[in-house]
């Protein structure tokens, strides 16, 4: 019996389904939950006071899901969000989909109308079970309060095991209110043992790598999901194989290490994309050949054989045929591989020359703030404690291209779903998950308006996030595509009627200032670093600034556009 369970069992108050929910969360080691109360979930909120759970009251349920997502990415634990039925539950959907697309472990708890009213179009009744079926690993509707301990144990096991993801638990109000004895024993937990490739497969992979003259290590978000960062770093160091990362894997190799060529794909570095284009062997580790990484798939690494290593067997050969498949424990596989790579010296030197030749430049003309240089300076000043919680748009790509990342948990972004509004709630979720970190929200004037009400959450809990708001008075990425691919037919991208965001932040009780001159960047970075509480830096940038390089739609990654 856990301490939490013993405490609950000895509590003189009557046991209810709602109290079993709280007990189950404590038993799973949950310390923080994000949510918003309402009628159908009220019994659970009645059971929260006096528990060991810290509840963070957000101002919109979508923010609860995004904050739980970031908490999970930073800690490696299951994030938990709570909402009531109807609109509360549907407001979680975008955050649940985000966790599903990016394989983030989450348990979403929703209240539901009483069991006898299900199917009657009762007040705030929504079939959230059906709504979320395509975007969860599993869903539960609890019909009997006695099942709560078992259901929650299974929900958490499903969320964190295999390829992680969100699990929904829908709780009718009468089930939450039902009187029920505390269970005498904890639910059983199944052990999961990832498959490990046999020695023959390891030998075959080592032979392929030894025969290659131009290998590339292409790694993705499956590496941090598997906790395989150290194994990846050791493999990279003992082989010297040039490496490229997907958006979700940034930081799995420290971004300043020699031999690491940067992010590949639509807005990847030229050094990374050209290395992949010229390689004869692609060692894919925890990546899934996503369209944003590959460009036109039939021209991606066109002369290369493929070794595909992944924790999810369903990803292997799904989009690109693997000449050698290795599904299972990524850490064990990488630790076992020790190939001879003495023949790749010329290739390594060529990639190193190209990294210098095509390095990003920061000498943009003019006196205005150059966003890539500002973001680079912030990440370098924050050092290994830096965490960036990004929204979606041009600023998202600038962070990926220019920021220094020491670990994958330092780069939080909506990768697969591309959800605007992620940044602010993800930022305070990350700051609560790692109070020692220097957490920066990097957002745009379009994105911040999606969840700007969460400035109130930051103010209430005095969460020391630093918000860098890049304001070009445009929906910048949409405008860039309209400029390049839609004959400059600028349709519905003008945000020139934005408020003064510094004034908005101050009205929420958050310190804020405006930055619009390059000469003031050093002082602005210093102010962000030394302010102890939350602060917003409203950065006005040139609305004509674009993200470069760019792979046009339908083109090979080797056909990158540049200014």
- Kindly list the catalytic residues: 61, 123-124, 173, 477
> Buried (b) or exposed (e) across 478-508, using 16+ Cβ within 10 A?
bbbbbeeeeeeeeeebebeebeebbebbeeb
Residue 31 phi, psi dihedral angles, 5° rounding: -115, -30
CA angle 172, 174, 176 (to 5 degrees): 70
Return the beta strands (E) in 189-328 as ranges.
Answer: 215-219, 243-245, 260-263, 281-285, 305-310, 324-327
- Which residues are CB-neighbours of 422 under 8 A, at least 6 positions away? 66, 69, 98, 389, 390, 391, 392, 412, 413, 414, 447
CA distances from 318 to 114, 186, 203, 487 (A): 43, 39, 24, 36
Tokens of 426: 């993800």
SS3 352: helix
Determine the Cα–Cα distance for residues 211 and 343; give it in Å rounded to an integer: 8
- Which residues are CB-neighbours of 33 under 8 A, at least 6 positions away? 25, 53, 54, 55, 56, 68, 80, 81, 82
CA distances from 366 to 369, 405, 516, 545 (A): 8, 28, 12, 12
How far does the chain reach from its first CA to its final CA, in angstroms?
Answer: 64
């Amino acid at each position: 019996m856990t301490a939490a369970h013993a405490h609950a069992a000895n509590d003189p108050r009557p046991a209810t389904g709602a109290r079993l929910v709280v007990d189950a969360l404590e038993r799973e080691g949950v310390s923080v939950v994000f949510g918003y109360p309402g009628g159908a979930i009220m019994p659970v909120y009645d059971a929260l006071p006096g528990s060991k759970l810290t509840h963070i009251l957000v101002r919109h349920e979508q923010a609860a899901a995004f904050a739980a997502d970031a908490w999970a990415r930073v800690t490696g634990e299951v994030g938990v969000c709570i909402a009531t039925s109807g609109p509360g539950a549907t407001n979680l959907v975008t955050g649940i989909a985000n966790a599903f697309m990016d394989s983030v472990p989450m348990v979403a708890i929703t209240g539901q109308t009483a069991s006898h009213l299900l199917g009657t179009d009762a007040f705030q009744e929504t079939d959230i079970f059906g709504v979320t079926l395509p975007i969860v690993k599993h869903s539960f509707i609890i019909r009997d309060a006695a099942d709560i301990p078992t259901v929650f144990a299974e929900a958490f096991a499903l969320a964190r095991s295999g390829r992680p993801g969100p699990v929904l638990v829908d709780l009718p109000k009468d089930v939450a209110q039902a009187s029920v004895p505390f269970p005498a024993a904890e639910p059983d937990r199944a052990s999961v043992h990832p498959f490990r490739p046999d020695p023959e497969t390891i030998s075959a992979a080592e032979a392929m790598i030894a025969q290659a003259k131009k290998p590339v290590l292409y790694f993705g978000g499956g590496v941090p999901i598997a906790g395989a960062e150290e194994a990846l770093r050791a493999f990279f160091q003992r082989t010297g194989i040039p490496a490229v990362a997907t958006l979700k894997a940034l930081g799995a190799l420290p971004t300043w290490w020699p031999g690491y060529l940067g992010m590949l794909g639509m807005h990847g570095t030229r050094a990374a994309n050209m290395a992949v284009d010229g390689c004869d062997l692609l060692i894919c580790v925890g990546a899934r050949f996503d369209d944003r990484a590959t460009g036109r798939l039939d021209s991606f690494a066109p002369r290369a054989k493929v070794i595909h290593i992944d924790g999810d067997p369903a990803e292997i050969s799904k989009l690109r045929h693997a000449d050698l498949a290795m599904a299972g424990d990524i850490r064990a596989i990488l630790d076992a591989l020790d190939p001879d790579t003495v023949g790749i010296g010329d290739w390594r030197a060529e990639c190193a020359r190209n990294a210098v030749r095509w390095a990003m430049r920061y000498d943009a003309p003019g006196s205005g703030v150059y966003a890539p240089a500002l973001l680079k300076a912030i990440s370098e000043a924050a050092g290994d404690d830096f965490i960036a919680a990004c929204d979606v748009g041009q600023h998202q790509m600038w962070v990926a291209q220019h920021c220094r990342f020491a670990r994958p948990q330092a780069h939080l972004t909506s990768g697969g779903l591309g959800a605007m509004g992620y940044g602010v709630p993800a930022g305070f979720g990350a700051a609560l998950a790692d109070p020692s970190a220097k957490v920066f929200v990097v957002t745009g004037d379009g994105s911040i308006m999606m969840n700007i009400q969460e400035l109130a959450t930051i103010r209430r809990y005095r969460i020391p996030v630093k918000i860098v708001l890049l304001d070009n008075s445009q929906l910048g990425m949409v405008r860039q595509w309209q400029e390049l691919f839609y004959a400059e037919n600028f349709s519905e991208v003008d945000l020139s009627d934005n408020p003064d965001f510094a004034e908005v932040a101050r009205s929420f009780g958050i310190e804020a200032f405006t930055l619009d001159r390059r000469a003031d960047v050093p002082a602005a970075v210093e102010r962000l670093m030394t302010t102890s509480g939350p602060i917003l830096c409203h950065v006005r940038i040139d609305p004509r600034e674009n993200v470069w390089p760019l792979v046009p739609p339908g083109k090979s990654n080797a056909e990158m556009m540049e200014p």
